[in-house]
Structure formats: C-alpha cells, structure tokens
C-alpha cells in the first residue's frame, strides 16, 4: 500500500503521508468548551497521520450543538488548545481545527441565555439530542436575519484567527453532515426568499462567504472545506445535489483553498464529477458503496489509484488504532472501536487503545 505513504503538498503544508485523520466528535471537553490534557494525549498519539483534522469545534456560543464539545471563541479555549497543538507538533504531526457551526442542530439548554438555536429557516430537524438529563427534541430554530448571517460569517473568521493563535496549521470548514453551511445549501432546510435562499446561486452564498472570510483572515492555503453531497444527516435533504455541488465547487475553486474534503456516501460517480471540477488537493473519506462503511485501507488505496483523491481520510480506524500507519504497513491486525465509549467519558475508549508495540 505504498501509495498511502507518499508525501503530499497541500497549501502551505508538506504532508509526510496521505493518511488523514477525519474529524470525529468525542465529547470530552469540559463544560466551558475547553480541551484538556486528555485531548493533548489523544491527538499526539495519532500524530503519525499526514494530517489530523480535529473534532468539530464551535466558532461561537450559538454554534454549539452537543454537550462537552470544544470551542475556539474565547481566550481560555485558545490557550487550552495550545497544549494540543504543541503536543502534536512535538511528535512531528500536522493539525487543522475543524470549525463546525451546528445551526439548527442545538438546544436552549446549551446556551447561557437559554435562547433558540438558529438556522436558515424555522424548520426543525425532526431529531433529538442527547443530554445528561435524557434525550431532548431539537426545537424549531430561529430564522437567521441578515445581521445574524453576517455575524456568523464573522464568527467563523474570528475562530480561524483564534485557531492560528492556538498553534493550528490551518482550519477546515464543516460544510457537511447537516450542519449550518449545509443547512443553507439544502433546499429541504432552506426556504428563504432573500439573497440566501431559493436558487442554487443564493443557497451556496453563505458557504462561499464563510470560505472567503476565513481565507482573507488566515490565508486560503490554510483553509480546507468539507462537503457531503447527498447527505441526509440531521434531517437535511437536497433535491438537486448534482447541480448544487457543481455550483459550489465552481465558486470555491478560484479561492485557492488548501483542499476540498468529501465525505463520500456510496456515490463514486459524484466523487468523480467533483474531482474533475476541483483544481486543487482533494481529500476523500472513501465509501464507494453504501456497504463500505467503515472505510478500509484498501478503500483508500483504490481511491488513490483511481485518481479520485490525493489523500484519504479515515475515522474509526484512527480512533481505535493510534498507530494506524504501522498497522497498515504490517497488514494489521486492527483494533475494533468500542461504540459504548465513542462519546463522553474519560480515557477509556479514547487514549487506551493498544499499539502494536
């Protein structure tokens, strides 16, 4: 599997291999959105990745959608993240912060003012969120005003500057999995009649504005953008996926971003179409069929050999195998992830997975 271990240039980054650690929410931050020494250990253990992309990190108070997730909107959060980036860099790793505004995926219990989550339109997800007090329905979000939209764009840019101050090598913008950027993209969740809704050109406007603002703030070659064409996560739906992502990719391409990251959902033809249109580095979380969850190293090699990706991202493989490059070279064996410890808790199922040595 030598293709996985070739070096790669992406923006300002020189990656030692093409194995990317995908972003994975682990819900182990403390209550004020600060990471701890536990996160520093977790990410440093996996610094053998060509690139680490962190768990989704909220760019603002209202951007939080889950309990115990980290932020990058306060000085204390920035200082806490420095211990993580220092630990990863000490091991020779490269690390991006994923900026994730969850939009309507939230709950008043998460916010100090008890207010509603926000979204492009007042349409609830129809789903629930886990809390220590039990499962709660996502409420109908408050429709964002134009001022709210401008504020959210500014929040992304400010969080990106905070990420660089915290020592990150760059940021990834989460435009996938039914969170705020995809909520604007998807016509099932965006029923606006102003400049941010209706036509495809209008629905991609928010995501493109966020990308431009963040690129202006920290430099485009420190910015990645993640998409999941056709995703129905968190209640989103797209009736025009092909045309929608054609337009989004065409609008993002001139910005000179470090990479585009695709969460593939069993539609390799869509991946090929985006690959043909995207002029820069493309990272693929490879799932060529719906039966290919979770991805395997073989899926990654196939994507590289087919030319539909420049690097491949894995999630559960990295979660359960902190020494993943060594295990791939050895042909396994691979630890299995413990689903009971995926979210919340302590070191168990987080920093205690064994290595080959």
Residues annotated as catalytic are: 179
Quote the longest CA-to-CA distance of the chain: 59
Q: For residues 183 and 303, what is the distance between their CA atoms, to the nearest angstrom?
A: 28
The Cα-based distances of 10 to 73, 198, 258 in angstroms read: 26, 34, 5
CA-based nearest residue to 98, from 178, 186, 175 = 175
Phi, psi of 312 (to 5 degrees): -125, 140
Report how far Cα 285 is from the mean position of its chain's Cα atoms. 11
Q: For residues 156 and 33, what is the distance between their CA atoms, to the nearest angstrom?
A: 16
Q: For residues 268 and 288, what is the distance between their CA atoms, to the nearest angstrom?
A: 5
For 70-107, b/e burial (b = at least 16 CB within 10 A) is: bbbbeeebbebbebbbebbbeeebbbbbbbbbbbbbbb
- What DSSP designation does 24 have? -
């Amino acid at each position: 599997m030598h293709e996985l271990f070739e070096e790669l240039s992406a923006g300002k980054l020189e990656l030692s291999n093409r194995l990317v650690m995908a972003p994975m929410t682990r819900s182990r931050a403390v209550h004020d959105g600060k990471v701890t020494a536990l996160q520093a250990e977790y990410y440093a253990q996996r610094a053998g990745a060509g690139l680490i992309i962190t768990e989704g990190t909220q760019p603002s108070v209202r951007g939080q959608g889950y309990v115990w997730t980290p932020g990058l909107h306060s000085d204390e959060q920035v200082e806490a993240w420095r211990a993580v980036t220092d630990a990863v860099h000490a091991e020779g790793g490269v690390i991006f912060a994923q900026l994730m505004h969850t939009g309507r995926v939230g709950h008043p219990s998460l916010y100090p003012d008890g207010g509603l989550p926000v979204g492009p339109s007042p349409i609830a997800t129809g789903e629930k969120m886990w809390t220590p007090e039990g499962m709660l329905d996502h409420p109908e979000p408050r429709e964002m005003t134009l001022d709210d939209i401008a504020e959210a764009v500014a929040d992304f840019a400010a969080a990106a500057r905070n990420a660089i101050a915290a020592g990150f090598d760059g940021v990834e913008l989460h435009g996938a999995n039914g969170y705020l950027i995809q909520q604007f993209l998807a016509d099932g969740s965006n029923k606006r009649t102003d400049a941010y809704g209706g036509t495809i050109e209008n629905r991609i406007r928010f995501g493109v504005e966020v990308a431009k603002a963040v690129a202006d703030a920290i430099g485009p070659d420190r910015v990645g953008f993640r998409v999941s064409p056709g995703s129905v996560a968190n209640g989103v739906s797209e009736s025009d996926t092909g045309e929608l992502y054609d337009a989004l990719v065409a609008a993002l391409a001139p910005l000179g971003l470090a990479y585009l990251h695709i969460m593939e959902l069993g539609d390799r033809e869509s991946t090929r179409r985006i690959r043909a249109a995207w002029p820069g580095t493309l990272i693929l979380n490879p799932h060529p069929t719906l039966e290919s969850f979770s991805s395997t190293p073989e899926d990654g090699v196939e994507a590289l050999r087919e030319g539909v990706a420049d690097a491949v991202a894995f999630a559960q493989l990295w979660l359960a195998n902190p020494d993943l490059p060594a295990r791939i070279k050895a042909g396994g064996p691979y630890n299995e992830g413990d689903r009971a410890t995926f979210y919340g808790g302590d070191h168990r199922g987080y920093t205690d997975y064994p290595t080959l040595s």
